[in-house]
Structure 1
Amino acid sequence: MSEKVCNHHESKWRKFTPRLLSGFFISAFIILLIVLLVWVILQPKKPIFILQDATIFNLNVSAPNIISTTLQITVFSSNPNSRIGIYYDKMDVYAAYHDQQITYFTAIPPVYQGNKDVNVWSPFVYGNTVPVAPYNGISLNQDQANGAVFMVIKLNGRVRWKVGTFVSGRYHLHVSCPAYIPLGNSKNNGISIGNAVKYELSQSCSVGV
């Protein structure tokens, strides 16, 4: 008798399981569809970055393959979205010359950027006796002699999007800011600050998410 009851319950469970799984997948699909529709309607836009200025404390080639750099940059960031907030969970900034990193990573503290909100960061970026390709050291000396140095300030990090109470997963953020610095040029228009020189740049950055 007990065996028949067990078989009966097992039969009912087998019939119930596919329905349960089907209901779960349908509910998950509906939720994902709603999130996707909301995302499309809101049309999220990438944040805007502008490299406002760079203050050069040191930019020196001590050997053909050794560069020392100390600078402070000011980066302006704005959220163009009216209904979407941005979590900057992790972000590192560094300087590159001829596609080669010439400073260490400098971390920018995590921050939340609300709708239409603005943030301004002024981190120090430095690298002491950083080994580079020999041709980069020679090229930097030549650029200084010619009166202008072109480098790129890069920011790499992870961001999340916030829509109402919904928060997305993490996305990689890549920001590239060209910095044309008239270093050593008599018409550089730089502002002397002690032993340093501040250059106004106001250069738009490319942003990839």
Structure 2
Amino acid sequence: MSVKECTHHKNKKAKLLRKLCACFLILAFIVLLIFLITWAILQPKKPKFTLQDATIYSFNVSAPILLSSNFQVTVSSHNPNSRIGIYYDKLDTFATYRSQQITYFTGIQPVYQGHHDTNVWSPFVYGTNVPVAPYNGASLSQDQSNGAISILIKMNGRVRWRVGRFISGRYHIHVTCPAYIPFGNKQNSMIPGIVVGAGIKYQLSVRCSVNV
């Protein structure tokens, strides 16, 4: 008799467990469906970044293939969403040359970007005696003698989305801005520069690629 009661209780617990699992799956499906429908209605769009200008203060290549640079870039970010705000929790700006990082990271203060708002940042990007890979050394020296260089201004960090009171988790954001910057031999420069203090400012207005 005790064996039958034990089996009965086990079956009852198994049925209860199956019901709980079914309820959990249904609830998870409903939450996911609501999220997808809301996301489709809001039609979230990635922020749009533009590299507006670059001011060159110094750019020197010295042996044995060491690079010292100091320049300031102006980057704008526009939120194209009408119902979604963006938290920029972290943004690090740096420059690369032929896939090699040539400056230190420059952090930007966290900021919230409202609907259709535009933020403008002007960080200084620099590096002192940064070793350049041997396979890039010859190209870098040649670019310097030619008076212009093609680099990438990058911004990596984390963002969160805000819809009403709901705030999402953190997402990685990667921004890449191509920049053709003339310096040194001004006769070969195709982009006019404006003297600003000890530097020369070049208007670029380049659209950046954004991956989130």
State whether TM-score is above 0.5. yes
CA distance in 1 between counterparts of 2:113 and 2:13 reads 50
Q: Which runs of 5+ in 2 are unaligned?
A: none
Whether contact under 8 Å (1:65, 1:135) holds in the other structure is: no
Q: Which amino acid aligns with 1:38?
A: T
The match for 2:200 is 197
The answer to whether 1:72 aligns with 2:75 is no
The match for 1:83 is 83
SS of alignment partner, residue 141 of structure 2: helix
Q: Which amino acid aligns with 2:159?
A: V
Please list the CA deviations of residues 33-57 of structure 1 after superposition, one character each: whole Å capped at 9, or x if unmatched.
1001111122111110000111111
The match for 2:29 is 29
The match for 1:141 is 141
| Match runs of 1:91-110 below 5 Å | 91-110=91-110
Q: Which amino acid aligns with 2:193?
A: G
Q: Which amino acid aligns with 2:120?
A: V
| CA apart distance, 1:4 | 9.5
Range with bigger deviation, 156-165 or 122-131: 156-165
Q: Which runs of 5+ in 1 are unaligned?
A: none
The match for 2:131 is 131
| CA apart distance, 1:8 | 7.0
Q: Which amino acid aligns with 1:205?
A: C
The two structures have a TM-score, normalised by structure 1, of 0.90
Whether contact under 8 Å (1:67, 1:137) holds in the other structure is: no
Please list the CA deviations of residues 103-148 of structure 1 after superposition, one character each: whole Å capped at 9, or x if unmatched.
0111112211111111111111111100011342332232232222
CA distance in 1 between counterparts of 2:10 and 2:90 reads 51
Give the number of aligned pairs: 209
CA distance in 1 between counterparts of 2:35 and 2:167 reads 11
CA distance in 2 between counterparts of 1:206 and 1:172 reads 14
Aligned alpha-carbon RMSD (Å): 2.2
Residues 16 and 138 of structure 1, relative CA distance in 2, 3 Å threshold: same
